[in-house]
């Protein structure tokens, strides 16, 4: 660790394999809290490279709970948080819509970051268990087409780093990489990020992680989701090629809404919003989900355009298939509680 700290202090970047080795050292618990703090602040001060982020993510995934099955064509749609929007749980609601369109979704998430409630909080309020083994998660993915992976559960070795992060009280690279650390082998990813200046960097990281196809998006108003408030900036990664794109909601026949129209509340409030969207209630919540789910459907290659993806998303809701995905997940969770109990 000392060698890598010296490199960072001198303003030099680490190679991907060096980053992996440094993080492996942290996981051995031979590294002190002060060394971890110095490492994170050194990276932040220098500015993290795509290679460093890739190395960090690969090391974290290697130390996560082990998922053995390679389930084909799996997508995750998750934002980094940190945008301060206090929105309802957009990506969680969208995940059920994407799954209802026939795409397998391994939804990786945590408790609250920028919203009042995180994906884990709202799913708990709906009756979904957060505590499944990798084997059970894989079975749910195959049978239901959507499962939730609770980050602290699938990344048990991150506890020491999380303690240091709390003590530092400043944003570090860990505020951005959560969506990249999903331990399931993903083919597709829709990644929302609150920092527009990191779009290209994270597109290169997703390419390094061998995603077949992915989109990194920064929404209008700095949201870590696609927003109806105006023009969204995004980068498409497809078979290793990287392309900058812009998206305005009116291009996909959706109305403009200010971001204040999609603010959420506590876990119960956001659970109710999610249910209302899946039950077909019209308005800015639904349209925001249609935009984000449409992007996910397009990312997974189920639609030839984002406009078509939005149409497929609407059909997923209106047919009841999206709601059925949630109901099945709740049912499986209740069965799991009975077995465990």
pLDDT digits (tens, 9 = 90+) for 276-321: 999 999 999 999 999 999 999 999 999 999 999 999 999 999 999 9
Residue whose structure tokens are 């249910």:
275
What is the C-alpha separation between 129 and 336, in angstroms, rounded? 8
What is the C-alpha separation between 75 and 50, in angstroms, rounded? 21
Helices (H) and strands (E) in the chain, counts: 15, 7
The pLDDT, as a whole number, for residue 85 is 85
The pLDDT, as a whole number, for residue 337 is 56
Contact of 227 with 81, CB cutoff 8 Å: no
Contact of 166 with 174, CB cutoff 8 Å: no
Non-local (6+) Cβ contacts of 213 within 8 A are: 187, 188, 236, 237, 238, 239, 299, 300, 301
The pLDDT, as a whole number, for residue 334 is 79
The pLDDT, as a whole number, for residue 341 is 38
What is the C-alpha separation between 169 and 185, in angstroms, rounded? 32
Is 273 exposed, middle or buried, given 0-12, 13-18 or 19+ CB atoms closer than 10 A?
buried
The pLDDT, as a whole number, for residue 135 is 94
This prediction has a pTM of 0.94
The pLDDT, as a whole number, for residue 63 is 92
Task: Pick the closest to residue 27 from 210, 170, 162 (CA basis).
Answer: 162
Q: Which residues of 224-259 are buried (b: 16+ CB within 10 A; e: fewer)?
A: bbbbbbeebbbbbbeeeebeeeebebeebebeebeb
- Reported in sequence order, the residue ranges of 265-311 that DSSP labels E, i.e. its strands, are none
What does the pLDDT profile of the chain (341 residues) look like in tens digits?
A: 899 999 999 999 999 999 999 999 888 877 899 999 999 999 999 999 999 999 999 999 999 999 988 899 999 999 888 878 889 999 999 999 999 999 999 999 888 754 568 899 999 999 999 989 999 999 999 999 999 999 989 998 888 888 898 889 888 988 889 899 999 999 999 999 999 999 999 999 999 999 999 999 999 999 999 999 999 999 999 988 999 999 999 999 999 999 999 999 999 999 999 999 999 999 999 999 999 999 999 999 999 999 999 999 999 999 999 999 999 999 998 786 544 43
The encoded tokens of residue 4 equal 């890598």
**Residues paired with 232 in a beta bridge:** 247
Contact of 211 with 185, CB cutoff 8 Å: no
The pLDDT, as a whole number, for residue 339 is 44
């Amino acid at each position: 660790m000392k060698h890598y700290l010296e490199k960072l202090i001198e303003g030099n970047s680490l190679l991907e394999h060096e980053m992996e080795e440094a993080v492996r050292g942290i996981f051995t618990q031979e590294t002190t809290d002060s060394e971890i703090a110095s490492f994170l602040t050194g990276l932040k001060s220098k500015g993290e490279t795509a290679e460093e982020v890739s190395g960090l993510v690969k090391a974290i995934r290697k130390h996560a709970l082990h998922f053995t099955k390679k389930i084909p064509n799996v997508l995750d749609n998750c934002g980094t948080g940190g945008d301060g929007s206090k929105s309802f749980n957009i990506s969680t609601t969208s995940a059920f819509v994407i799954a209802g369109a026939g795409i397998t979704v391994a939804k990786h998430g945590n408790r609250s970051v920028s919203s009042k409630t995180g994906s884990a909080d709202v799913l708990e309020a709906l009756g979904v268990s957060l505590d499944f083994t990798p084997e059970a998660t894989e079975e749910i993915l195959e049978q239901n087409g959507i499962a939730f992976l609770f980050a602290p559960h699938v990344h048990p070795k991150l506890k020491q780093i999380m303690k240091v992060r709390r003590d530092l009280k400043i944003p570090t690279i860990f505020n951005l990489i959560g969506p990249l650390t999903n331990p399931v082998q993903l083919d597709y990813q829709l990644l929302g990020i609150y920092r527009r200046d990191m779009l290209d960097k994270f597109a290169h990281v997703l390419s390094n992680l061998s995603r077949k196809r992915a989109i990194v998006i920064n929404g209008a108003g700095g949201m870590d989701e696609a927003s109806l408030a105006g023009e969204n900036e995004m980068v498409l990664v497809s078979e290793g090629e990287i392309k900058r794109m812009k998206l305005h909601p009116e291009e996909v026949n959706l109305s403009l809404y200010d971001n204040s129209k999609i603010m959420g509340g506590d876990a119960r409030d956001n659970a109710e919003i999610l249910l209302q969207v899946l039950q077909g209630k019209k308005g800015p919540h639904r349209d925001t989900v249609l935009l984000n789910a449409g992007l996910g459907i397009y990312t997974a290659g189920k639609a030839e355009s984002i406009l078509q993806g939005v149409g497929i998303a609407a059909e997923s809701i209106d047919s009841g298939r999206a709601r059925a995905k949630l109901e099945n997940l709740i049912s499986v969770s209740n069965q799991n509680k009975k077995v465990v109990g």
